[in-house]
Amino acid sequence: FDCRRNTLWKYKEFMPVDEKKIVSLDEGGTPFCKCNKIGEDLGVDLYVKVEGSNPTGSFKDRGMSVGVTKAMELGVDTVGCASTGNTSASLAAYAARAGLRSIVLLPEGKVALGKLAQAMFHGAEVLSVDGNFDEALKTVSQLALEKYLYLLNSINPYRLEGQKSIGFEIVNDLGWESPDRIILPVGNAGNISAIWKGISEFYNAGYIEDKPMMTGIQAVGAAPIVNAFNKKSMKIDPITNPETIATAIRIGDPVSYTKALNAIYDSEGYAETVTDDEILDAQKLLGRKEGIGIEPASAASIAGLKKLRESGVIDKGEKIVCVVTGHLLKDPDTAIKASTPPIKVKSDVSELKKILENNN
Ligand code: F0G
């Protein structure tokens, strides 16, 4: 590998695109933080893969770098997606870098502010759709079929090729070793499929001797994959009106459900739901105990870990990697609501001393 730069392109031998066309913002190579405090409280060896440290603040950048590279290879002039926010933010930035027109469909009123700001700021044509993500995805897919745009949702296999690098990096971060388990939030179900692909490629290449149990977490109000898992089924019953505070994973009809269920079953993994309150508690826990700021959807992984440890699905001492998928500042409204507001003071030392002494 070319290890001079710590980006996903150090794995370029595993990426099925033309090296000369690479569109990159140095995505990948994200922090891998051992979380001793939460780990010890839960009785596991816990690591967190901090995907919010990617260029636009989510793991989507990995897939978008490879996807937009493929778009350049194909010579298209317009790219597009439907999105709960992060995909659109990433697409807008990579399209700007590549000089492509970008069109994004967002479910009206359900996209966190930071993500909307990014999509608009990087110059995407932002269409606010009267409907949820699943409906917007159906609409934009039709536009893609009619060749109005090159679709860069995770139904595009090149997105998954980029995101499989999370699996590669976890193995490398641990020193060429598989963890016992990888836990992550599941929405449209691309990422769990991608990480499993990466793990499987490294396993088949003989780089690792074991594979992790892939463990997907969904919000109670948007859990078609967990429902299928509980019935040991390969089919999902789509949820017509998905609801959760974690707007990134407010998805009822995930396109990659077959791949995701295969990943879970093949790895002897698990799927579980968490409530919105559990998500918000986990978000605060990671922020206040470990100093890692993540958006609500990402906290589903930590909430799921806690729940599965308490129910005994996760054994004591397991080596666990939680993938935290997006940055805290993606959703500033939720961050502010979860926090103590600033105290108004005069810039006066004696008044400040009083407040600090009272607060302590
Ligand atoms: N976490 C975050 C922060 C996300 O933005 C998403 C998906 C997921 C987890 C779930 O990943 O869909 O591959 O299962 N966001 C998409 C979007 C749907 O439009 O930004 P998945």
CATH of the domain at 120: 3.40.50.1100
Q: Is residue 301 part of a domain?
A: yes
Which structural domain, as residue segments, surrounds residue 206?
Answer: 8-58+159-337
Cβ of 224 below 6 Å from ligand 1: no
What is the structure's pLDDT at 243?
A: 98
Distance of CA 86 from the midpoint of ligand 1 (Å): 7
Q: Domain check: are 293 and 170 in the same one?
A: yes
Of ligand 1's listed atoms, the one at least distance from the Cα of 89 is 20
80 contact partners, CB below 8 Å, separation of at least 6: 91, 102, 103, 104, 105, 140, 143, 144, 148, 149, 150, 151, 152
Q: Is 240 annotated as a binding residue?
A: no
Q: Domain check: are 168 and 27 in the same one?
A: yes
- Atom 7 in ligand 1: residue holding the nearest Cα: 248
Of ligand 1's listed atoms, the one at least distance from the Cα of 154 is 13
List Cα–Cα distances, 175 to 1, 194, 358, in angstroms: 15, 21, 47
Distance of CA 359 from the midpoint of ligand 1 (Å): 39
Q: Is residue 20 part of a domain?
A: yes
Q: Domain check: are 23 and 102 in the same one?
A: no
Q: Is residue 185 part of a domain?
A: yes
Cβ of 52 below 6 Å from ligand 1: no
Cβ of 178 below 6 Å from ligand 1: no
Looking at this predicted complex, what is its ipTM?
0.99
Q: Is 325 annotated as a binding residue?
A: yes
Distance of CA 244 from the midpoint of ligand 1 (Å): 13
Distance of CA 338 from the midpoint of ligand 1 (Å): 22
Domain count, the chain: 2
What is the structure's pLDDT at 4?
A: 59
Q: Domain check: are 215 and 316 in the same one?
A: yes
Confidence (pTM): 0.97
Q: Domain check: are 94 and 15 in the same one?
A: no
List Cα–Cα distances, 69 to 46, 95, 304, in angstroms: 34, 10, 34
What is the structure's pLDDT at 87?
A: 98
Nearest to 335 by CA among 140, 164, 113: 113
Cβ of 248 below 6 Å from ligand 1: yes
User: Average pLDDT of each block of 10 consecutive residues along the chain (360 residues)?
Assistant: 78 96 97 98 98 98 98 98 98 98 98 98 98 98 98 98 98 98 98 98 98 98 98 98 98 98 98 98 98 98 98 98 98 97 94 92
Amino acid at the residue 245:
I
The helix/strand/coil state of 46 is: strand
What is the structure's pLDDT at 5?
A: 75
Q: Is residue 1 part of a domain?
A: no
What is the structure's pLDDT at 2?
A: 57
What is the structure's pLDDT at 29?
A: 97
